[in-house]
Every structure is written in C-alpha cells, then in structure tokens.
C-alpha cells in the first residue's frame, strides 16, 4: 500500500425489507391518528419515515469532487449558501461551505454509499446518519404562524423563498428547516429530539388545528 492510498471500511448497516424498521416517531402511531384524527386544520404534519440520510463533506472548489458527486446523485451539489436541490427521490441540502445533507430512499442508502466510494477520491467524508434523525413535513394555511412561535427565523417568503435551507433552534432543540412550497416545509430533527418536538408541534398547532397525514 502506498502513502497515497486510503481505504475505508464500508458496511451495510441497514436490514433488508423483510425486517421491520421503526422511525423515531413510531410510538406516536401517526397512521392511526391520520385515520381517526381531525381531517381539517391550519397545520398538517407528516413524517417521511426511514429515509436515507447521508452527510457529505468535500472541497467545493475541487472539480473532481463536484463531478463525482454529480455522477452519483444525478444532480449537482448546490454551492450557493442555504440552498437545496431535488431530483427525483434525491434531495441535497447545503448546510455549510463544505457540507451537504443528502436524502435518498432508505433502502438505497448503502447503494449510494458504495457509489460514492467508487466515484470519489482524495480527502472527503461520507457518513450515514439515517438511524439518528428523521424528516417531518409541515404544511397548511397556518404553518408559518406556527413556525414563528417556534423558531427565531424570518419566514417571510421574500427572505425565506422556496428551496432555502437553514439550521436553527426549534423550540429548544436543533433542526434543519427547508421550504418546499409557499405553505410547506420540511424539518430534519435528531432522533433524540423527535418525541419532544412532536409534543411541541401538537401544542403550538392547537389554536390552528393539527391534521396528521399518513
């Protein structure tokens, strides 16, 4: 082995589809709430459970890194701060000058890891954090009103347009929020904060009415 060769131990940590997986909000039984709960309200909530979450760190000024990532993902990494891109089932969120959060279908995350190892070289990092966080979608006529009570960001469409991403404090927990529509947002939260934020969202949405969607 030469001094320039780097080897990484790559292990598929995900069970196959025959083994049930449980999301951070599994205990809340959102599927039952979606059927039995209110069907009208100003805030709608849905967990996109068991997605693949990958954190990529690389040099945005390295054309080989950028080209390799685009070959793997089918879309170029967003280089403008606080922006995101979506192509099919792949979403890429800019979270710092050399860091991106990549979301893919859960059972495909190891395939993407393997492709990155084949296409990327040099100094970069790819970490599968799928089991440590989840994605919650919140939408509705009063979703911005609810967000204003929960996070110290300006959610006006003129300064927080569709596609924008921001890491913030939500209630007393950390979260990454992305706007996907005028009245629609995605929020990435850590597994350890999921229950707390689920309780907070229920309380913060009470005056508008909360609709849980399957």
Confidence (pLDDT) at 20: 77
Query: Domain range holding 59?
Result: 27-212
Which residue in 90, 54, 58, 59 sits closest to 73, CA to CA? 90
In a domain, 181, yes or no: yes
DSSP sequence for 125-153: EEEE-GGGEEEEEEESTTHHHHHHTT-SS
Confidence (pLDDT) at 17: 65
Residue 35 has pLDDT above 50, yes or no: yes
In a domain, 115, yes or no: yes
Question: For 70-95, what is each residue's pLDDT tens digit?
Answer: 999 999 999 999 999 999 999 999 99
Please state, in angstroms and rounded to a whole number, the distance separating the CA atoms of residues 186 and 175.
Answer: 10
Question: For 163-209, what is each residue's pLDDT tens digit?
Answer: 999 999 999 999 999 999 999 999 999 999 999 999 999 999 999 99
In a domain, 14, yes or no: no
In a domain, 201, yes or no: yes
In a domain, 83, yes or no: yes
Please state, in angstroms and rounded to a whole number, the distance separating the CA atoms of residues 200 and 175.
Answer: 13
Domains held by the chain: number = 1
Q: Is 19 exposed, middle or buried (0-12, 13-18, 19+ CB in 10 A)?
A: exposed
In a domain, 21, yes or no: no
As a whole number of Å, the end-to-end CA separation of the chain is 52
In a domain, 17, yes or no: no
Residue 4 has pLDDT above 90, yes or no: no
* Consecutive H or E run containing 13: none
In a domain, 41, yes or no: yes
When pLDDT is averaged across residues 25-46 and rounded to a whole number, the result is 96
Question: For 102-161, what is each residue's pLDDT tens digit?
Answer: 999 998 999 999 999 999 999 999 999 999 999 999 999 999 999 999 999 999 999 999
CATH number of the domain enclosing 118: 3.30.1360.120
Strands (DSSP E) contained in the chain are 43-48, 52-57, 84-87, 90-96, 99-104, 125-128, 133-139, 165-170, 173-181, 184-190, 210-212
Confidence (pLDDT) at 1: 38
Confidence (pLDDT) at 18: 75
Which residue in 165, 166, 149 sits closest to 202, CA to CA? 149
Residue 6 has pLDDT above 60, yes or no: no
Q: What is the pTM of this model?
A: 0.90
Beta-carbon contacts of residue 20 (< 8 Å; ≥ 6 apart): none
Confidence (pLDDT) at 21: 80
């Amino acid at each position: 082995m030469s001094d320039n060769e780097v080897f990484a131990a790559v292990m598929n940590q995900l069970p196959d589809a025959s083994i049930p997986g449980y999301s951070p909000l599994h205990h809340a039984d959102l599927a039952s709430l979606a059927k039995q709960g209110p069907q009208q309200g100003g805030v709608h909530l849905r967990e996109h459970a068991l997605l693949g979450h990958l954190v990529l760190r690389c040099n945005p000024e390295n054309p080989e890194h950028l080209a390799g990532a685009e070959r793997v993902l089918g879309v170029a990494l967003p280089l403008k701060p606080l922006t995101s891109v979506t192509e099919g089932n792949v979403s890429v969120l800019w979270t710092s000058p050399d860091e991106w959060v990549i979301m893919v279908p859960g059972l495909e995350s190891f395939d993407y890891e393997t492709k990155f190892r084949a296409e990327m070289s040099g100094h970069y990092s790819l970490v599968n954090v799928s089991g440590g966080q989840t994605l919650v979608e919140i939408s509705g006529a009063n979703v911005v009103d609810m967000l204003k009570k929960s996070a110290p960001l300006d959610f006006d469409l003129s300064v927080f347009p569709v596609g924008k991403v921001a890491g913030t404090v939500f209630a007393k927990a950390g979260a990454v929020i992305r706007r996907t529509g005028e009245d629609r947002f995605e929020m990435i939260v850590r597994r350890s904060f999921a229950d707390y934020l689920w309780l907070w969202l229920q309380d913060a949405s009470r005056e508008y009415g909360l609709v849980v969607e399957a």
